[in-house]
Amino acid sequence: MRKELLGAIGVLSVLLLAILAVYALNIDDNVGTPTNGTDVQADMVLTFPNGSVWRFSNISLTSGNTTVLDMLNAVASEGNFTVETTYYGQYDSLLVDAIAGIENGQDDRYWLYWVNGEYASVGADRQPVRTGDTVEWRFTTYG
């Protein structure tokens, strides 16, 4: 009787572990967390001081934690333009200084970005990008 009970407990334990494993695999990783090694497809819009707008649709990225800066660098590579950044230790973050040769500070305007219409509150290297996001960079004044 004791051996049968131990066998039944063992079978139930294995079954419980299998159920938990299936549940864990079905959790949506894109809700509330950065991407981790999965493909991300998002759009990017760059609005320049002369009014020209560059649109990049369905940019596909694969990496550990895809950020707005990762995406900007991928778009720069695709569009054959440069992105310049400076590291700020007090924020442990990178600031985008210039895009396509347009440098911050001209006429008191700067490169600022929005994700899905919301102004960013962290550096571009800290902001995750998820599938379906639209990232917009504008050369504009604060406020």
The H-or-E segment that residue 58 falls in is: strand 53-62
Percentage of residues in the chain having pLDDT higher than 90? 67
pTM of the model: 0.72
Average pLDDT, whole number, for the chain?
Answer: 80
Smallest CA-to-CA distance from 66 within 129, 139, 138 is with 129
> How much is the pLDDT for 11?
36
| Domains of the chain, CATH where assigned | 39-140 (2.170.130.30)
Q: What count of Cα atoms within 13 Å lies in the side-chain half-sphere of residue 25?
A: 6
> How much is the pLDDT for 53?
97
Q: Which tens digit of pLDDT belongs to each residue from 55-86? A: 999 999 986 669 999 999 999 999 999 999 99
pLDDT score of 27 more than 70: no
Q: Which tens digit of pLDDT belongs to each residue from 35-50? A: 455 689 999 999 999 9
Q: Which DSSP letter does residue 79 get?
A: H
